[in-house]
Homo-oligomer: A and B are copies of this chain.
């Protein structure tokens, strides 16, 4: 039942007994820190949200800085795990490229933009990166440093199969993600959750444009508008 499929050298603890309590604290910390910022988040508020006493926070995790780092490590792990779980469903040999890629994009959008872990993580990194450069480096290694190459590899397979045409898979992967997250960025910044229909529409738009740009010109791409 090890969750860490792509295991990360970040969080590593024993104590299966206090796991739940520690997790509750880290969950609460993620919510409060990402909402209030590092300075604005008070240990008291986190303790209350976690349903523990303040002293327990100090016992389990340590001071504010340790708490912050432990929480970011936890979020990084969860977010990364979720991403790669979805990536495993990439349509490598699709019968209908357009529709299967749209389905994949929907799944990605759901875990990338609707999962609180990922949203919080992004916000926290954006805000406190300058305060903790080493945290930023670790995130960059496990976030963009792995996600884009992983997508690029899948796209390269499609290109090899002659389904699309690419020069630079890494660039294509970045553009794929950019198109995908283009429309929701603004809304998702607030708590707004896009509906299923909206996610579908966004994914369709992104994939359509992506396939138009990278269509295999050799044998004429099927039904693209």
CA distance A129 to B60 in the complex (A): 32
- Which A residues between 76 and 125 are near B, CB-CB below 8 angstroms? 123, 125
Taking CB atoms, residues of chain B closer than 8 Å to A181 are 178
Contact check, A37 vs B40: say whether CB atoms are below 8 A apart. yes
Taking CB atoms, residues of chain B closer than 8 Å to A123 are 126-127
Q: Give A186 Cβ to nearest chain B Cβ, in Å.
A: 6
- Which A residues between 196 and 219 are near B, CB-CB below 8 angstroms? 205-206, 209-210, 212-214
Contact check, B136 vs A190: say whether CB atoms are below 8 A apart. yes
A159 adjacent to chain B (CB < 8 Å): no
Q: Which of B39, B171, B191 contacts A39 (CB 8 A)?
A: B39
Q: Which of B39, B144, B183, B190 contacts A40 (CB 8 A)?
A: B39
CA distance A126 to B140 in the complex (A): 20
Instruction: Kindly report which residue of chain B lies nearest to residue A217, judged by CB atoms.
Output: B225
Taking CB atoms, residues of chain B closer than 8 Å to A39 are 36-37, 39-40
Contact check, A205 vs B38: say whether CB atoms are below 8 A apart. no
Taking CB atoms, residues of chain B closer than 8 Å to A182 are 174-175, 177-178
A4 adjacent to chain B (CB < 8 Å): no
Instruction: Kindly report which residue of chain B lies nearest to residue A201, judged by CB atoms.
Output: B171
7 smallest CB-CB distances across A and B, nearest first, come from A39-B40, A178-B182, A37-B37, A213-B213, A212-B213, A39-B39, A178-B178
